[in-house]
C-alpha cells in the first residue's frame, strides 16, 4: 500500500480548549468532526501527551474553536508550538471569551465555536477519542475554515534563507512541519498535528 493515500484526507485545524480545577488550556488539533446530527454529537482525537487531553478526561467538557483563513501564524504558534505542561497559554492571551460551560473559546482568527460534553471515551493507543454531545455554539464570522492546504500555502511562514547544504531536515508528511537536525528522535511528536516520527520524511 502507498502510505501517501492516507494524507489525501481533507483536514481542518482547530483550537481545542478545556478547563479543569480552575485552569484553562488549549492545543491545536486536526481531528474534529460531527458524527451525528440527532443527537448532535462530535468526535475529537487528542494525543495523550497533551495536557488538554487530561483536562477533558477529568472535567468531561471542552470547546472547539474553528480556525478561519484569516488566522495569523501566531495563533498556531501559541497553541501548537508550546506545551501546556510548561506554559500557561491563557496568562497573557486576550483574544478569547468564556462560554457558558466555563471553558474558553478563541474570538480572533476563528469563525465559530462549539461546546460539548463527553459521553464516550475510546482508547486508541497514542490518542484518546472523545465522543461528545454538543451543548452550545455560535458563529463568529463568515470567513471559511482553514485547511492544512491553506495553512501551508497562505499562513505558515516561508523560509527566509536557504539552509546550509549539510543541514538535514525532517518534514512531517501530514502537515509540513519542519524539524531541523539529525537524527530525528524516535519518540518525536509533531507539535502541529501530533503525528509521530514515522510520518516524517528526511531531506538533506
Listing DSSP states for 84-124 in one string gives TTT--TTTT--SEEE-TTS-EEE-SSEEEEEEEEEEEEEE-
Q: Are residues 133 and 183 in the same domain?
A: no
Lowest-confidence pick of 46-55, 65-74, 153-162: 153-162
Alpha carbons 154 and 165: distance in angstroms, whole number? 26
Q: Which of 125, 150, 175 is the last residue before a domain boundary?
A: 150
Nearest to 105 by CA among 62, 71, 145: 62
**What average pLDDT does range 71-87 have in this prediction?**
92
Q: Are residues 107 and 186 in the same domain?
A: no
Residues 6+ apart with CB under 8 A from 33: 42, 43
Which residue range is the domain that position 199 belongs to? Answer: 160-203
User: Residue 164's pLDDT is what?
Assistant: 61
Q: Are residues 43 and 99 in the same domain?
A: yes
Note whether residue 155 is domain-resident.
no
Alpha carbons 173 and 24: distance in angstroms, whole number? 31
User: Residue 165's pLDDT is what?
Assistant: 60
Q: Could you give the count of Cα atoms lying within 13 Å of 63 in the half-sphere of its Cβ?
A: 30
Report residue 68 CA to chain centroid gap: 13
User: Residue 43's pLDDT is what?
Assistant: 98
Q: Are residues 111 and 81 in the same domain?
A: yes
Over 90: is that where the pLDDT of 11 sits? no
Looking at the chain, the whole-number percentage of residues with pLDDT higher than 90 is 65
User: Residue 162's pLDDT is what?
Assistant: 56
The mean of the pLDDT values for the chain is 91
Note whether residue 29 is domain-resident.
yes
Over 80: is that where the pLDDT of 129 sits? yes
User: Residue 167's pLDDT is what?
Assistant: 80
C-alpha distance from residue 151 to each of 68, 105, 146 (Å)? 10, 20, 7
Nearest to 95 by CA among 61, 72, 69: 72
Q: Are residues 145 and 45 in the same domain?
A: yes
**What average pLDDT does range 106-111 have in this prediction?**
98
- Which of the 8 DSSP states describes residue 155? I
Note whether residue 134 is domain-resident.
yes
Note whether residue 199 is domain-resident.
yes
User: Residue 158's pLDDT is what?
Assistant: 77
User: Residue 47's pLDDT is what?
Assistant: 92
Report residue 101 CA to chain centroid gap: 20
Q: Are residues 11 and 84 in the same domain?
A: yes
Note whether residue 165 is domain-resident.
yes
CA angle 186/191/194 to nearest 5° reads 70
Q: Are residues 128 and 167 in the same domain?
A: no
User: Residue 6's pLDDT is what?
Assistant: 67
Note whether residue 180 is domain-resident.
yes
Q: Are residues 146 and 169 in the same domain?
A: no
Q: Are residues 94 and 129 in the same domain?
A: yes
Cis amide leading into 183 (omega within 30): yes
Domain count, the chain: 2
Amino acid at each position: 500500500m502507498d502510505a501517501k493515500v492516507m494524507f489525501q484526507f481533507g483536514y481542518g485545524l482547530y483550537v481545542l480548549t478545556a478547563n479543569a480545577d480552575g485552569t484553562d488550556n488549549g492545543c491545536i488539533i486536526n481531528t474534529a468532526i460531527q458524527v451525528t446530527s440527532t443527537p448532535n454529537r462530535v468526535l475529537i482525537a487528542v494525543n495523550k501527551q497533551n495536557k488538554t487531553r487530561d483536562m477533558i478526561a477529568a472535567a468531561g467538557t471542552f470547546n472547539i474553536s474553528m480556525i478561519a483563513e484569516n488566522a495569523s501564524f501566531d495563533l498556531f504558534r501559541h497553541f501548537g508550538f508550546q506545551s501546556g505542561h510548561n506554559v500557561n497559554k491563557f496568562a497573557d492571551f486576550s483574544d478569547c471569551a468564556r462560554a457558558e460551560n466555563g471553558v474558553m473559546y478563541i474570538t480572533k482568527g476563528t469563525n465559530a465555536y462549539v461546546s460539548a460534553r463527553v459521553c464516550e471515551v475510546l482508547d486508541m493507543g497514542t490518542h484518546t477519542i472523545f465522543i461528545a454531545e454538543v451543548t452550545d455554539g455560535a458563529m463568529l464570522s463568515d470567513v471559511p475554515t482553514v485547511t492544512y492546504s491553506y495553512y501551508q500555502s497562505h499562513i505558515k511562514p516561508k523560509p527566509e534563507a536557504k539552509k546550509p547544504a549539510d543541514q538535514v531536515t525532517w518534514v512531517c508528511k501530514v502537515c509540513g512541519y519542519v524539524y531541523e537536525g539529525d537524527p530525528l528522535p524516535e519518540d518525536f511528536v509533531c507539535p502541529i498535528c501530533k503525528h509521530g516520527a514515522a510520518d516524517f520524511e528526511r531531506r538533506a
